[in-house]
Amino acid sequence: MIRYGISRLPREGIEDAEFLDSLLALGHDAVELPFVHGFPWKEKRCAQFGELAADRGMAVSVHAPYFAVLTTDDPESRPKTLSAVEHTMKLGKQLGAHTIVAHTGYGRGRPAEELHELVNDGLARIEDKVRHLGVALGLETSGTQRAFGSLGDIALIAGNFNFVRPVIDWAHVHAISGGGLTTPDAFASVIAFLRDQFPGWAIDPLHTQFTDNEFGPKGEIRHVPYGAGTLRVAPMVEAAVAAGLKMIVISEAKEDSSHAAILEELRTAQKTARPAPRGTGRPLGSGRIDPPDQVTVVKDGDGFFTTGFDREVRLSNVDKVFWPEDGYTKGDLVQYYASIAPVLLPHLAGRPLSLSRYPDGIDGNSFYEKQCPSHAPEWMVRAPIHSGHRGEAIEFCTAPDVESLMWVANMGSIEMHPWLSRVSHPENPDYALFDLDPQEGSSWEQVVYVAGLINVLLERLGLAAYPKTSGSRGMHILVPLEPAYDYARVRRFVETVGRMIAAADPDAATLEWDMARRGPRVFIDHNQNVGGKTTAAVYSVRPKPGAPVSTPLLWDEVEHIDPADFTIATIWDRLRRHGDLYAPVLTGSQRLEGPESALGL
C-alpha cells in the first residue's frame, strides 16, 4: 500500500541493473531520478532503465530541473523553462514513469491571480505536446512564503489540465504550517483536503516526498538528519492506512542513515496501523478489484444504504455475481461507477439515459427501459422528451451526480446508454458517431485500419475526431459538433464519409444493411446517428466476460492495444497516467459547413 524509495542517480561506474538491485536489497520499491540540474540521460538510457525497473516492480519518478518552473515571466527564459518541463515529461515516458515532479515557481511579490495566469498560460502552451504522454506532471507543494504553489493553488491548476497531479512534500507542508504535522489527525486533515479536491484516481497512489527539516516563520530553511527535527513518518503512515490511501514516499534526505531510519519507522508503523473502523458498515464491492474511493454500505433489512454521500442511496443484492467467470458482483459494478464518476459524469450531463438492464448479470435476461421507473427516488432528475410513437412524453432518467449514477447501476444497468444530444437541444446532437462494428471473420486489425482511413479523411476535412473502444470488438469515433444540426444532417455526413471509405477499400469496410451480405468486413453503422438511439458511453462497462470498459484511445496507439485489456479492474492506472482523454469531446465543438462543401453535400 505504501511504496518507499529515495531520490538518487546511479553513481559513476555503477550499472543501472546493479543500482536497482541494491535498492531492492535495502527494501526500496520506488526511486526518483533527480534531473534537478539538467538532463544527464538521453532517451535511449531512459528507456533501458525503465525496462529494468519495470522488470523489478520498481516505481520510477523524475524530478524536473529546478529551472523548469512555470511562473517565469521573462520573455527570453520562459520558452526555455517550458521546454524543460516538456522534455522532462518526454524522458519520463521513456522511463515508464507515472509522475514528473516540478516546482511551480516563486511569487516575487506578484498577486496570486497573475501567477495563476502565468502557470495556466505555460501549461496551455505545452498541453498538446504532453497530455497524451501518459505521464503526470506533479506540482510540488511550496515550502516557503516566497514560493508559489499551495495545495489549494495546485488543485485550481489541476482543474484546468488533466495531466496535472499534486505532489505532497510533507517537509514543506510541515514548515508552512509552523510545525503542525505532528499527529495522525494533522496528516489526516491534509488527506481529507486531497480527497475533497481531487478525483480518487488522481491520487491513487499519492506521490509524496519526505525528510526531516528545520523551518522558521517564513517556511523551510533546510533539510536535517532524520530525528533532528519534529517531522515523523509514523503518524503519516497511520493517517494513510486509516484513510485507505495508497502512497509513494520518496526520501529526499542527504544521509543514508536517514533513508534507513525513515524506512524502518515506516514499515514498523505499517505493521501496527489499522484502517479506520467502519462501524456497522462494510465495503460495497467484492474485494476482487481495487478502485479508488471505495464506498461503504450499511445493512438495512434485505438491502443496504450508502454512507458518506450527500444523499443516501439504497442498494439491493450487492453480492449477486454479475460476471460468473470473474466473480465480479453487482456491488463491484456500482462501486466502479461511483469511482469513475468524476470523469464519466461530464459526458452524461444533461443527456437522457436509456437503461440497459441485466438484473441477473451478463448471463441472464436483459431488457431496455426508456421510462424512468416509478419507484426511482424523488431526487432523481427526469428528462421528459416527447415521443411521436407514443404520442406523449417519456420521462428518461438522467445522471447529473454520483448518487444518480449509483442508483442507475443498482437497477442492473451494466451499460450507460446516453443520447447523442442533450435535453436542452434534443433534436441536435453535439457529436457525430462513427460506429465501427466488425463482422464475423473480421479482426481488430481491420477495425484499426478502417478507423485510420476515417481519421485521415476527417483530418483533411479539418475535423478532429476521437476514438474509443466500444468495450467489445469494435470502435467508436466521435466528432464533436456545435449542436446546430439535426440528426438527419449529421447522419448524412457520417454516411457520406463511410461510403467514401467503403469505396476506397470495399474489401475492408461496408455500409451494407443486409447482414448476410456484409461478409468479413467492418460495418460502418451511420444509422446510430438517429434521435432517440443510444450507444455505450465512454467509460461504460459492457456485459462481456472480464467486465470490459469503453475506453478513450490515442490515435498513435490504436494498433498496439487490445480492447480486452481495459476493464473495471485495470482502467485506473490509465486514468492516472492520462486523465480523461475524451475531455476534448466536451469542449471541441466544430461546424460542418466546410466539410460538407468539400464533400459536395
**DSSP summary character for residue 284:** S
Cell 446508454 -> residue: 417
d(CA 399, CA 307): 19
User: What was the pLDDT predicted at 7?
Assistant: 97
CB 251 within 8 A of CB 7: yes
- The grid coordinates listed for 247 are 502512497
CB 419 within 8 A of CB 433: no
CB 385 within 8 A of CB 393: yes
Enumerate the H helices of 324-474 as residue ranges: 330-348, 402-410, 444-460
Between the alpha carbon of residue 236 and those of residues 211, 223, 241, 245, the distances in Å are: 12, 18, 9, 11
Which residues of the chain, if any, have pLDDT below 70? 278-279, 388
Between the alpha carbon of residue 83 and those of residues 123, 126, 144, the distances in Å are: 11, 8, 26
Q: Which helix (H) or strand (E) holds 338?
A: helix 330-348
* Interstrand relation of 247-251 and 206-210 (parallel, antiparallel or unpaired): parallel
Helix (H, G, I), strand (E, B), or coil: what is residue 132? Answer: coil
CATH class belonging to 281-418: alpha beta
Torsion of CA 336, 342, 345, 346, to 10 degrees: -150
Assigned fold of 431-598: DNA primase, PRIM domain (3.90.920)
Q: Residue 373: how many CB atoms within 10 A of its CB?
A: 13
CB 255 within 8 A of CB 10: no
Let me know if the fold of 281-418 is the same as that of 431-598.
yes
d(CA 334, CA 384): 25
The contacts of residue 567 (CB under 8 Å, 6+ apart) are 546, 547, 548, 549
User: What was the pLDDT predicted at 279?
Assistant: 67
Which one-letter amino acid corresponds to residue 41?
W
CA angle (480 as vertex; 443, 133 as ends), nearest 5: 65
d(CA 98, CA 210): 18
How far is the first Cα of the chain from the last one, in angstroms, to the nearest whole number?
58
Residues 226-280 pLDDT 10s? 999 999 999 999 999 999 999 999 999 999 999 999 999 999 999 999 887 766 7
Helix (H, G, I), strand (E, B), or coil: what is residue 328? Answer: strand
Between the alpha carbon of residue 436 and those of residues 418, 478, 484, 522, 546, the distances in Å are: 18, 11, 25, 6, 21
d(CA 542, CA 362): 9
Q: By C-alpha distance, which of 350, 335, 348, 271 is closest to 547?
A: 335
Q: Furthest-apart CA pair in the chain: how many Å?
A: 81
User: What was the pLDDT predicted at 588?
Assistant: 76
Backbone torsions φ then ψ of 344, nearest 5 degrees: -80, -40
Domain chopping of the chain, boundaries = 2-272, 281-418, 431-598
- The grid coordinates listed for 551 are 475506453
Helix (H, G, I), strand (E, B), or coil: what is residue 568? Answer: coil
d(CA 495, CA 454): 12
Cell 510545525 -> residue: 179
CB 531 within 8 A of CB 421: yes
User: What was the pLDDT predicted at 390?
Assistant: 72
Q: Which helix (H) or strand (E) holds 586?
A: helix 583-587
**CATH architecture observed for domain 2-272:** Alpha-Beta Barrel (3.20)
d(CA 361, CA 543): 8
CB 416 within 8 A of CB 399: yes
Residues 471-486 pLDDT 10s? 888 999 999 999 999 9
CB 576 within 8 A of CB 599: no
